[in-house]
């Protein structure tokens, strides 16, 4: 069955990595005529726009939204969902994740997702634990039994989910991050959400390369 798939790229001061990712998305993932793909880049208060200009020239169908998002990946994904609420599947990624292998979208449903796995919980970044717990307030999630375990986080805050799941994420995790510590906490909060909602996870590590290093 043909599905509508929105690819949301959270971007700030993009580099060649974003252009590489878009090129790869078109050559590896979006060339499947059985599904309808749309790409949106949500800008997070950039000062460098040169690669957006290149993308506008080479890929005019891509929606580049200059919204000065300051809520990191959470804010980018929520903005895109509110703008395009009728897609079946949402591919939510950072601009420094470059796709290398085709993803089987048929695996994604209300009880199965893709996310970048890392079984370290808060142990890999203890300094954000207290903030992460405060951001869990009023979510209704029964996180206490696993908060101090090596639970699987959604590293890089990148995942692929159904419409229902993304909508429910924003209705459940209602406290957006406002700084880098909050963004790092949300890698854990997204992971906790998938665990506590009994959503099976398939690892994105098999499909993307993460480009590390300083931006220009």
- Express each pLDDT in 48-99 by its tens digit: 999 999 999 999 999 999 999 999 999 999 999 999 999 999 999 999 999 9
pLDDT at residue 38 is higher than 90: yes
Give me the mean pLDDT over the 175-201 stretch. 97
Question: Global pTM?
Answer: 0.96
DSSP state of 22: H
CATH number of the structural domain spanning residue 79: 3.90.550.10
Strand partners, 117: 154
| 160 inside domain | yes
Buried b or exposed e, range 121-154, using 16+ CB within 10 angstroms: bbeebeebbebbbebbeebebebeeebeeebbbb
What's the pLDDT score for residue 215? Answer: 45
What's the pLDDT score for residue 171? Answer: 98
Q: How far is CA 184 from CA 33, 71, 76, 141, 143, in A?
A: 36, 12, 15, 19, 17
CA dist 191 and 141 (Å) reads 12
pLDDT at residue 118 is higher than 60: yes
Per the CB < 8 A criterion, the answer to whether 157 and 73 are in contact is: yes
pLDDT at residue 213 is higher than 70: no
| 215 inside domain | no
Tokens read off for 21: 């990712």
Range of the domain at 97: 4-210
Strand partners, 154: 117
- Helix then strand count (H, E) for the chain reads 6, 9
Reported confidence tier of residue 17, pLDDT bands at 50, 70, 90: very high
| 204 inside domain | yes
Reported confidence tier of residue 157, pLDDT bands at 50, 70, 90: very high
Give me the mean pLDDT over the 171-193 stretch. 97
212 or 64: which leads in pLDDT: 64
| 216 inside domain | no
| 177 inside domain | yes
Structurally, how many domains does the chain consist of? 1
């Amino acid at each position: 069955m043909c599905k509508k798939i929105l690819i949301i790229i959270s971007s700030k001061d993009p580099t060649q990595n974003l252009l590489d990712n878009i090129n790869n998305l078109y050559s590896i993932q979006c060339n499947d005529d059985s599904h309808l793909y749309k790409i949106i880049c949500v800008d997070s208060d950039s000062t460098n726009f040169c690669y957006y200009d290149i993308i506008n020239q080479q890929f005019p169908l891509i929606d580049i939204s200059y919204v000065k998002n300051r809520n990191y990946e959470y804010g980018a994904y929520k903005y895109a969902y509110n703008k395009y609420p009728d897609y079946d599947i949402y591919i939510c990624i950072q601009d420094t994740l470059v796709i290398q292998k085709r993803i089987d979208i048929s695996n994604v449903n209300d009880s199965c997702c893709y996310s970048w796995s890392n079984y370290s919980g808060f142990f890999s970044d203890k300094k954000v634990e207290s903030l992460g717990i405060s951001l869990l307030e009023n979510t209704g999630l029964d996180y206490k039994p696993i908060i101090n375990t090596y639970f699987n986080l959604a590293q890089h805050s990148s995942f692929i989910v159904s419409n229902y799941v993304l909508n429910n994420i924003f209705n459940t995790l209602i406290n957006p991050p406002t700084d880098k510590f909050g963004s790092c906490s949300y890698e854990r909060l997204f992971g906790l959400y998938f665990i506590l909602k009994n959503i099976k996870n398939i690892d994105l590590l098999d499909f993307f390369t993460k480009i590390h290093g300083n931006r220009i």
